[in-house]
Chain A
Amino acid sequence: MLEVEDLRVTYGGAVEALRGVTLAVPDGKVVAVLGSNGAGKTTLLRAVSSVLRLHRGRVESGSVTFDGKSLLGKDPSQVVDLGLVQVPEGRRIFSRLTVEENLRAGGMGARDKSAKKAAQQRVYDLFPVLAERRTGRAGLLSGGEQQMLAIGRALMAAPKVLLLDEPSLGLAPRIIGQIGEIIHEINRQGTSVLLVEQNATMALEVADLAYVLDVGEVSLQGDAKELAATDEVQKLYLGHGSDADEVHAVVSTGKTLSRWTA
């Protein structure tokens, strides 16, 4: 189980991006974290993956543990070795490498040759299009294919917990639906998922549990289906507000999602 407790993170010693966030990803569950631009979603994943340092960010207090072991102060590669692998925001595939090389880069940590083969087979089974485009340059894939490659690349390390940062970003509704199904399938195969999203519809559909992050703090949490039914989430994230003006007002204060109807 991945546990984050009372986590405070600052950038450059000044900007406070997370102000005491507590959440948990129980084994085998899909946990969604919703939040608008700048809520601190990416910061949360950076803290888990131990790459805050690359952004002049720092954990001021609190803890991040996986199965009781602290992740703070570890090297990013050690976090991967422990079984937590991230699919970063904006996909960030290696565009000059081939599809196959991208997958190899994802499986670099694994020593065992047969495990690597098995992981690769799993990825090609999940994403047949990647097998077809194996030797092509990754930069030439479409946005949706690139997202699949980014997920496949992370799966090459056979993670226990998959961390996904806005996989729906910039994709058409139909593709977003596919991504949702894939997340569901990956979870069914035994991988826990921490899904960071602005697209609440898809996220709440696949998630078991959900948290709403609001300017660095958890403002709502609970069962994903129950949360989806609450007034706040209906209004703020799903665009089914009873009072359109009220929703609009919240939009203009910048508290809601930019693509809340997607």
Chain B
Amino acid sequence: MTLFLSLLLNGLSLGALYALIALGFSVIFKASEVVSFMHGSLLLFGAYTTARLAADLPFGVAVLLGIGLTAGVGLLVERLLINRLRGSSVISLAILTIGVDIILVTELTRRIGSDILNMPAPWGGDVIRIGDVGITTNRAYAMLVAAVLIALFFAAFRFSDWGVAMRANAEDGETAALMGIKPGRVSALAWVVGAGLAAVAGLFLVGSPTPGVAPGIQAVALRAFPAAILGGLDSTGGALVGGLIIGLAESFASGYQDQILFLGRGFGDVVPYVVMILVLLVRPSGLFGTRELTRV
């Protein structure tokens, strides 16, 4: 029972981080019809800049700067590339983001080198215990921050002018344009939000129990991708649910790996994809999606 509760708690926390990343995917896809494969590098960029800046600046300042700079990279990519190629096929835009991803990751990997770059968070490797159930302080904060950001996101999406413009534009771009809604602005804001959320997730994903900023964490963003797809790529609610499902599935599959050894060692790493495939077999457009990926 203790193991179960602990896996549940850690799974929820991990899932909340996946949800942050997946929300970014989803909002970018809705606004600009781009499947962003560069989220891994954005995550790494956010974690890397924050860790580097924190060497000279107070941690809180470094965090805000790191998130801001990552959002800036998102904005830059949207303005310089995506916006100019508006109307190109979904495939070529997706491949474009893969290109940017490779460039960014290569450069960041070179800079990180063989160091182990630690995220100097004030809570370090502390662990919070509730009875016998333990979770690292980092993951506890992650869950809290993610919950607040997700709530803020949904409130903005539902009530703000930005949210209305975003949803109108996603439903019928031409009519939105006829109403004076600027598609470029909607898309730019989506990239800022998507990149910013990735940076926040990156910040926590490189903290305890993970051993620091290493290029490998960009693979984590790849796991948020099945989360977004199984929820339905064009559904923000789906991104949230998908993120939580993937986080929990991964946590349980790793925690109970001795019991499921017949599935092979390291099943926890592939479980996001297995879950995604199972869901897509039953519902090709994802749990809450309205469009199949093949039809976009």
Within 8 A of B (CB), among A64-88: 75-77, 80-81, 85-86, 88
Tell me if A104 counts as interface (CB < 8 A to partner B).
yes
Tell me if A94 counts as interface (CB < 8 A to partner B).
yes
Tell me if A157 counts as interface (CB < 8 A to partner B).
yes
Mask, A81-100, CB within 8 Å of B = 1, is: 10001101000101111000
Mask, A155-175, CB within 8 Å of B = 1, is: 001000000000000000000
Within 8 A of B (CB), among A207-261: none
Tell me if B179 counts as interface (CB < 8 A to partner A).
yes
List chain A residues, Cβ under 8 A from B165. Answer: 105, 108
Please state if A88 and B168 are interface contacts (CB–CB under 8 Å). Answer: no
List chain A residues, Cβ under 8 A from B173. Answer: 54
Mask, B166-191, CB within 8 Å of A = 1, is: 01100111111111111000000000
Please state if A80 and B179 are interface contacts (CB–CB under 8 Å). Answer: yes
Known: A94-B167, A97-B164. A108 touches B174 (CB 8 A): no
Known: A94-B168, A97-B167, A101-B164. A77 touches B175 (CB 8 A): no
Tell me if A154 counts as interface (CB < 8 A to partner B).
yes
Chain B contact residues: over half helix, strand or loop, or mixed? helix
A95 CA to B177 CA, complexed, in Å:
16
Chain A residue at minimal CB-CB distance from B167? A97
Please state if B180 and A80 are interface contacts (CB–CB under 8 Å). Answer: yes
Most buried by B among A54, A94, A95, A154: A94
Tell me if A49 counts as interface (CB < 8 A to partner B).
yes
CB distance from B226 to the nearest CB of A (A): 26
Most buried by A among B161, B167, B175, B176: B175
A51 CA to B161 CA, complexed, in Å:
23
Please state if A157 and B182 are interface contacts (CB–CB under 8 Å). Answer: no
List chain B residues, Cβ under 8 A from A153. Answer: 179
Tell me if A20 counts as interface (CB < 8 A to partner B).
no
CB distance from B182 to the nearest CB of A (A): 5
CB distance from B172 to the nearest CB of A (A): 6
Please state if A157 and B168 are interface contacts (CB–CB under 8 Å). Answer: no
CB-contact partner of B177 in A51, A104, A157, under 8 A: A51
A97 CA to B177 CA, complexed, in Å:
16
CB-contact partner of B171 in A54, A96, A104, A157, under 8 A: A96
Tell me if A180 counts as interface (CB < 8 A to partner B).
no
List chain A residues, Cβ under 8 A from B167. Answer: 94, 96-97, 101
Tell me if A143 counts as interface (CB < 8 A to partner B).
no
Please state if A76 and B177 are interface contacts (CB–CB under 8 Å). Answer: yes
B-side interface size class = 10 to 19
List chain A residues, Cβ under 8 A from B161. Answer: 104, 108
Known: A76-B180, A77-B182. A104 touches B164 (CB 8 A): yes
List chain B residues, Cβ under 8 A from A136. Answer: none
List chain A residues, Cβ under 8 A from B168. Answer: 94, 97, 101-102, 105
Chain B residue at minimal CB-CB distance from A163? B178
List chain B residues, Cβ under 8 A from A101. Answer: 164, 167-168
Please state if A108 and B181 are interface contacts (CB–CB under 8 Å). Answer: yes
Within 8 A of B (CB), among A124-180: 153-154, 157
A85 CA to B164 CA, complexed, in Å:
19
CB-contact partner of A105 in B174, B176, B182, under 8 A: B176
A54 CA to B172 CA, complexed, in Å:
12
Mask, B138-180, CB within 8 Å of A = 1, is: 0000000000000000000000010011011001111111111
Please state if B181 and A51 are interface contacts (CB–CB under 8 Å). Answer: no
A80 CA to B182 CA, complexed, in Å:
11
A97 CA to B171 CA, complexed, in Å:
9
CB-contact partner of A108 in B171, B172, B175, B179, under 8 A: B179
A75 CA to B177 CA, complexed, in Å:
9
Most buried by A among B173, B179, B181: B179
CB distance from A66 to the nearest CB of B (A): 15
The contact sample of 16 A-B pairs, CB cut-off 8 A, is: A54-B177, A76-B180, A77-B181, A77-B182, A85-B179, A85-B180, A86-B178, A88-B175, A92-B172, A94-B172, A95-B171, A97-B168, A108-B165, A108-B179, A109-B179, A109-B180
B interface, CB within 8 angstroms of A: 161, 164-165, 167-168, 171-182
The list of the 10 closest CB pairs from A to B, nearest first, reads A80-B180, A109-B180, A76-B177, A105-B168, A92-B175, A77-B180, A77-B182, A94-B168, A86-B178, A104-B164
A interface, CB within 8 angstroms of B: 49, 51, 54, 75-77, 80-81, 85-86, 88, 92, 94-97, 101-102, 104-106, 108-109, 153-154, 157
